[in-house]
A and B are shown apart, each in its own frame.
Chain A
Amino acid sequence: MKSEFTPPIGKISQISGKCISLIGNDIDTDRIIPARFLKCVSFDLLGKSVFEDDRKTLKGRHPFDLKENQDSSILIVNSNFGCGSSREHAPQALIRWGIRAIIGESFAEIFYSNCIAIGIPCFTLPKKSIQDIQKYNFNKKLFLEIDLKNSSAKSEDLNFNLEIKDSSKNMFLTGEWDATATLLKNSSLVERKFKDLPYIKFS
């Protein structure tokens, strides 16, 4: 886990780092950050509590506790990662632990959009490729350089393509993932919508 946290800002086109594999389908947000840690008014302290219960159960053998995984920043997961609640605390805990990109077979929807909103690109790959990467990473630590523009990743001896929705990719390349500024631009259109909607006056 990194001690200093600096949030990503602006355009994101390149991410490189060591990979950390987390094996299992349907890993839900309650496991990523158990509800008791939601008792907070800021996200600052969440990094150290990521996967707390799973880590306690595994007594030091959880990937997030293994020595060789410290300083990793690219998380490799299986299918339906992040299912469950809408808590942004989950990706906020991951990013504060040091995760800057996630590659998985599939993601739950709100988790995915929360990741975008805080600047964590999520890429998908077919099941078999994910398993291959996880296997490779188990035998030999994988250091990946991800190029968002070309949706590709390379390491010393691997070279492969990643999948990411065009809309998400564009958001990272343009810096628009930090949505507030973009949304604020259309302020006059929003005001018109407010006036035009049939129900605003009676609800």
Chain B
Amino acid sequence: MSQDTLFDKVWDLHKVSSLPGGSDQIFIGLHLIHEVTSPQAFGALKDKNLKVKFPSRTIATVDHIVPTDNQSRPFKDNLAEQMIKTLEKNCLQHKIRFFNIGSGNQGIVHVVAPELGLTQPGMTIACGDSHTSTHGAFGSIAFGIGTSQVRDVLATQTIAMNKLKVRQIWCENKLSHGVYAKDLVLHIINELGVKAGVGFAYEFAGPAINALSMEERMTICNMSIEGGARCGYVNPDEKTFNYIKNKTCAPKNENWDEALLWWKSLKSDANSIYDDVIKFDASKVEPTVTWGITPGQSIGVNQQIPLLEELSLNDQLIAEEAYEYMGFKPGQSIKNTPVDVCFIGSCTNGRISDLRVAAQVLKDKKVSRNIKAFVVPGSEKVANEAKQEGLDKIFKDSGFQWREPGCSMCLAMNSDKLIGNQVSASSSNRNFKGRQGSPSGRTLLMSPAMVAAAAINGKVSDVREYMH
């Protein structure tokens, strides 16, 4: 059993009681909600005649269903309009702060909370969304919950949960030029498998992680869930504190001093005990692309799609399914695979640094003919910052469409969808069958820089050949 890790410390701090069944009752310091997984929870509150316990600890925004072309109300899609209206009504009724479209702070929930300074070290954070693990980048313990648990957090500010084990993922050296956090996390998931993390919190540590920016750390923690881990985190350091400083909801003045003092005391002890430790060499990671239908099915851009016999018995069943669905032959190169759609966005890679990197690749270049390419900033703040830097212009000049913030084609609940068996080069996090809106659509996950390179070339490319 782990001891004295940041996870243990934060868990113990938030533990309210041991429940008779054997799980713990855990206090949730920050609760984030959005339109898709909250309406039924509010409905259940009403049925049970309960109130929201601490409305000030819940923050709402709207992201999954928002259109990214025309956001004027009412939305063209009636169901989407009904969902945003329901959220508006629930927030108003229960006095929950809501960052709506046009507030300047709307966006993907996991982009919005960090950029507002709401996400802070040492907190427990829950949201009805599996990528809540993103917030662990700040040294908080953050995990996705289902709608019944959203109801529980609203009603009690707590949930019942079994304590997780802690696995340290130690990353030596540093990433090489043209290789990004996305590549590293895809590589880790590929090595460990998509279910290795079940029952674990992942602590990402080591020189390669320390060298990452806060936004890159968010990308890594974000995809913990694709590796099966409900929660991933990085011990907070100066970069963490500097990122939070002066953000809208960050502590100010003497509160800042007090917060800083406390945050600095929050990290895994040097001699803390982990349930498991796994080491990686970050310098060996290449730009990585998925070829299959799980985020674990990835290879370096210059490698070949694995032969069945190269895979473990456990992985063979899903590999066969993937060859067939994706239309790939075992042993085929992934490089030069033609793509139809290029998507930059999502809570994995829709932040300002992602847009900067992609814009740098696209500058003075043109998107290949017949490619639909679009960029969806992760939030209104990201969009505004990008505009100030002129990034929107670079994207547009290259042939990318510049859209309004939201989840968009990460999960295709709005009108941004693949058609038929189109292939997308996507900076998002899931390549499941049908994920991007067409039951036969195919998704290749990669870094935003790699998506930009694919857009220019019309096929999967090694972005390092486009960088000087």
A positions within 8 Å CB-CB of B? 24-26, 28, 30-31, 34-36, 38-43, 53-54, 56-57, 78-80, 83-89, 91-92, 106-110, 113-114, 117-118, 165-168, 170-171, 174, 176, 179-180, 182-184, 186-187, 189-190, 193-194, 197-203
Contact = CB atoms under 8 A, between A and B. Distances in A.
Interface stretch (B143-151, B202-210, B283-291): B143-151
B434 A34 contact: yes
A117 B228 contact: no
B55 interface: no
Residue of A57, A85, A107, A190 with most chain B CB atoms under a 10 A cut-off: A85
A187 B27 CA distance: 11
A189 B144 contact: no
Given A106-B195, A109-B199, A182 B144 contact: no
A38 B255 contact: no
A180 B156 contact: yes
A91 B146 CA distance: 10
Interface of B: 13-14, 16-17, 19-23, 25, 27, 29-30, 36-37, 39-40, 43, 48, 50, 53-54, 64-65, 77, 79-80, 82-83, 86, 118, 120, 122-123, 128-130, 132, 143-149, 151-152, 155-162, 194-195, 198-199, 225, 228, 230, 249, 251, 255-256, 258-259, 262, 294, 314, 317-318, 321, 411-413, 430, 432-435, 437, 439-440
Contact of B22 (A35, A108, A113, A167): A167
6 contacts: A26-B195, A109-B230, A171-B21, A193-B27, A197-B13, A203-B259
Contact of B259 (A28, A39, A182, A202): A202
Contact of B432 (A30, A180, A189): A30
A38 B413 contact: yes
B432 A28 contact: yes
B159 A179 contact: yes
Contacts of A26: 194-195, 294, 318
A165 B156 CA distance: 25
B432 A40 contact: no
Given A86-B129, A184-B155, A190-B53, A179 B148 contact: yes
Given A57-B439, A83-B194, A190-B16, A117 B79 contact: no
Given A56-B439, A167-B22, A203 B318 contact: no
Given A80-B194, A108-B198, A203 B413 contact: no
B156 A187 contact: yes
A9 to B, nearest CB: 13
A199 to B, nearest CB: 6
Contacts of A41: 39-40, 43, 82-83, 86
B136 to A, nearest CB: 15
A35 B16 contact: no
A195 B90 CA distance: 26
A183 B40 contact: no
Contacts of A202: 251, 255-256, 258-259
Nearest to B257: A202
Contacts of A190: 16, 27, 53, 156-158
